[in-house]
Structure 1
Amino acid sequence: MDKINLLVIVTIITLFVSLFLAFFLLTVKTKHKRSNVLFAVFLLITAIDNSHPLFTLVSNGPSNLGMLRTTFAFLQIPVFYMYVSSVCYADFKFKPKHLLHLLPFLIANVILLPRFYTVDLASKINFLMNRQDMIELQFNHILIFIQIVVYFAAVFMLLRKAKKLYLENYAGTSINSYNWLFQFTSVLTILYLIVILKNVLKFSDYPYISEWIKIGILVFQLFIICWYLYKALNNPGLFRNIDSNLKLVSDLVLEDKNIKQPGINEIEYNEELLKLKRYMTDEKPFLNPSLTIQDVSKDVKIPVRDLSLLINHKLEQHFYDFVNVYRIERAMDILRDATKSRLTILEILYDVGFNSKSSFNTAFKKHTGNTPTSYRKGL
């Protein structure tokens, strides 16, 4: 099978899977509709970018539509960035400032106006035949390289902050979803670095290597899309968003220092800590798998800000870990109880407030140094 036929076959398969997943995301019933729409748009833009082998089969030469199709690549990463933002923050909304994400796409097309979009077919052919010497194409490749670096750096910073906010304010098991999204972004980063390599080789003395890398990229994209499809079908409610108005504890501490507030004194601190521990022991709110710091604040009558500082700063524990300690302690009691020896590990983890086996195992080993099964056998 020659290279062209292989490229067409892989392209068709990739486009089919991409369009199928986009259709699924647009039609599935979920409260995360905005996130689904954004990722569907990301898939559709990617499909347009990947359609080059099929486009060349039906086109009679270079055209404005064909060039416009290639510049759609400038929209992929901005849309992915907004997708990640919508996943992380429950109050994400489209705003006029998001139109700024169109700037690279518009710049890339504007500089192509004089010597490509507004000239005849012969000039277009000459432009592409001498693409290695065309400053416009070189500029666009540099621009997309900068865009990839800046946006992926922004995505990783966004995920890092969102995960920390989640740990400081929530005690659900959706933290696994942030870990998965971090992995997904990492894989996409590798893919785009390969794209950069392909573009560099296109302007080198080895352009044919760039064509083979293109096939590898399509296969890699197919793998990524199938991976996401598997996750989407098995976990339709992948993420629990957080409130973007929440502040990191480090920022709260800095604010207190800047406005020279003494904060709570040692006596108040000890009183509130005793009240909190008594509440956790007597009321057992940790049995709620979706417990938030706002829920605890309401019940113990301590402002969210003070409670967050008390747990995350004074106790030097994330709220997530603070709650999980109580869950693990209860799980240990159940495992030590001979009358409950018939309960499975799965039944126990649900009983103490977890709803994910991986989260339970991770928290249990962090607290005891053993897995739940090893702990039970060692009794």
Structure 2
Amino acid sequence: MQSFDFIDLILFLGISQGVFLAITIQILKNKNRAANRVLSLILLIASLMLTGRLIYPRHYDSEWFFRIAIFVDTLIFVFGPLLYLYFRRLAFKETPNYRLHFSHFVFAIAMLFYYFWTLSYSHEEFIILGRQGKLNIIFFCIETLGILFNFFYSYRCYQLVQVYRKEERQNLSYSQNLTPFLVSFLVTVTVFVALWLLSYIMVYFLKIYTPIISYNLVWISIPVFIYVVGFYSLKQPDIFRMPLAKKEITKNKERLDRKSIQELNDKLEELMVNEKVYLDHNLTLVNLAKELNTSTNNVSWLLNNIHHNTFYDYVNKYRVQAFVEKIHKGEHHRHTLLALSMDSGFNSKSTFNKAFKMVKNVTPSNYIKQLKVS
């Protein structure tokens, strides 16, 4: 039986943390429950994989543990689709909730057939086949497909992040800070798969076996992944999920006639200049469309084709201008810049700084310094 070492401690902490987070996330009372159910499943799968890695080396001669270890290998073809499902449910609003098609689990089902095939051999017979190298091609194919499969779903998740970024600017006047989390999540997973790939190349092609770049490094990365995901999910606020359906907004075809454009533009100016709806920290495209008594598609078309702005950029230009007016009145001598930005409609310091620099090509503090010089 193998002794308990440092990597086993890391694995044990990852297992306990994964199970704890999977349960705790379900207790959270927010609007992301459909996504959190998938996240809990991902965390439990990661914990199960770690459990197999922790126990199997100590019970290698036990047929019961041996059979479980082979079955757990199926999970490498379940993780990717579930990751994609989590990203999609967390970032986008679809009715009904998006579900994975049967085709996403073809490789997992194939792995189950492989598992049932292994049952036709006794434990001893299977070990002998492995030592004789007769299973090498099977192991090589499974691992190759596993790496390619997970890289493919990492890429699909990356595509979702790109769509989300675009939709966020079209639908929100503020930043939810969801993109940094999605990117961190995706980078962590990609690093995990990249380590797996590196170990795979070294073992199968370079015939190099090292304790530093090895499967142990891959296993250690899973608890890190659990920590990154769990930390955010516990403090994750309710978010406004983006519509995923492609909008019928075109620059080549007039969606509205001239009269409708003028009327809608006049109403929009009334709301922005006189009613100052941009002071609402949580202003969304949906809210604005309701105020204008029109569809979100019409408002988006107007902003994109007449004003040549996204919803995010259009609204924040008014907020920046409101902030600048306060600066010229000298209010920054009595209040902090953050307080003035909040009074101008911004909901966070990061959103304010990015918007101000986009409009003025300078930071707020440097803008004030330039005023003093002039």
Q: Check whether TM > 0.5.
A: yes
Aligned to 1:168: 170
Q: Percent identity?
A: 20
CA distance in 2, matches of 1:112, 1:211: 31
Which amino acid is the alignment partner of residue 157 of structure 2?
A: V
TM-score, scaled to structure 1: 0.87
CA distance in 1, matches of 2:93, 2:77: 26
- 1:282 is displaced (CA, Å) by 0.8
CA distance in 2, matches of 1:194, 1:371: 40
Segment of structure 1 superposing worse, 91-100 or 347-356:
91-100
Aligned to 1:275: 267
- 1:311 is displaced (CA, Å) by 0.4
Aligned to 1:242: 242
- 1:193 is displaced (CA, Å) by 1.6
Residues 280 and 345 of structure 2 are in contact (CA less than 8 Å); yes or no, is this contact kept in structure 1?
yes
Aligned to 1:150: 152
Aligned to 2:75: 72
Which amino acid is the alignment partner of residue 91 of structure 2?
A: C
Query: Do residues 290 (structure 1) and 277 (structure 2) align?
Result: no
- 1:204 is displaced (CA, Å) by 4.1
Aligned to 1:119: 121
Aligned partner of residue 291 in structure 1, secondary structure: coil
Residues 201 and 207 of structure 1 are in contact (CA less than 8 Å); yes or no, is this contact kept in structure 2?
yes
Aligned to 1:41: 41
Correspondences of 1:197-346 after superposition (within 5 Å):
197-204=198-205, 206=207, 208-209=209-210, 212-233=213-234, 235-237=235-237, 239-245=239-245, 247-248=246-247, 251-253=248-250, 262-266=254-258, 268-339=260-331, 341-346=333-338
Could you say if the C-alpha distance between residues 193 and 131 of structure 1 is closer, same or farther in structure 2, counting changes exceeding 3 Å? farther
Which amino acid is the alignment partner of residue 153 of structure 1?
A: Y
- 1:338 is displaced (CA, Å) by 2.0
CA distance in 2, matches of 1:70, 1:202: 18
- 1:208 is displaced (CA, Å) by 2.6
In structure 2, the gaps of 5 or more residues are none
Could you say if the C-alpha distance between residues 359 and 26 of structure 1 is closer, same or farther in structure 2, counting changes exceeding 3 Å? same
Could you say if the C-alpha distance between residues 147 and 305 of structure 1 is closer, same or farther in structure 2, counting changes exceeding 3 Å? same
Superposition RMSD in Å: 2.7
Could you say if the C-alpha distance between residues 127 and 25 of structure 1 is closer, same or farther in structure 2, counting changes exceeding 3 Å? farther
Aligned partner of residue 354 in structure 1, secondary structure: coil
- 1:4 is displaced (CA, Å) by 6.7
- 1:262 is displaced (CA, Å) by 4.2
- 1:142 is displaced (CA, Å) by 2.3
CA distance in 1, matches of 2:62, 2:95: 43
Segment of structure 1 superposing worse, 22-31 or 283-292:
22-31
TM-score, scaled to structure 2: 0.88
1:9-43 per-position Cα deviation (integer Å, ceiling 9, x unaligned): 22112222222222221222222112112111111
Segment of structure 1 superposing worse, 80-89 or 119-128:
119-128
CA distance in 2, matches of 1:119, 1:319: 63
Aligned to 2:345: 353
Could you say if the C-alpha distance between residues 216 and 42 of structure 1 is closer, same or farther in structure 2, counting changes exceeding 3 Å? same
Could you say if the C-alpha distance between residues 94 and 265 of structure 1 is closer, same or farther in structure 2, counting changes exceeding 3 Å? closer
Residues 173 and 354 of structure 1 are in contact (CA less than 8 Å); yes or no, is this contact kept in structure 2?
no
Query: Do residues 108 (structure 1) and 111 (structure 2) align?
Result: yes
CA distance in 1, matches of 2:332, 2:317: 21
Could you say if the C-alpha distance between residues 31 and 301 of structure 1 is closer, same or farther in structure 2, counting changes exceeding 3 Å? closer
CA distance in 2, matches of 1:242, 1:190: 27
- 1:97 is displaced (CA, Å) by 4.7
Segment of structure 1 superposing worse, 321-330 or 195-204:
195-204
- 1:287 is displaced (CA, Å) by 1.2
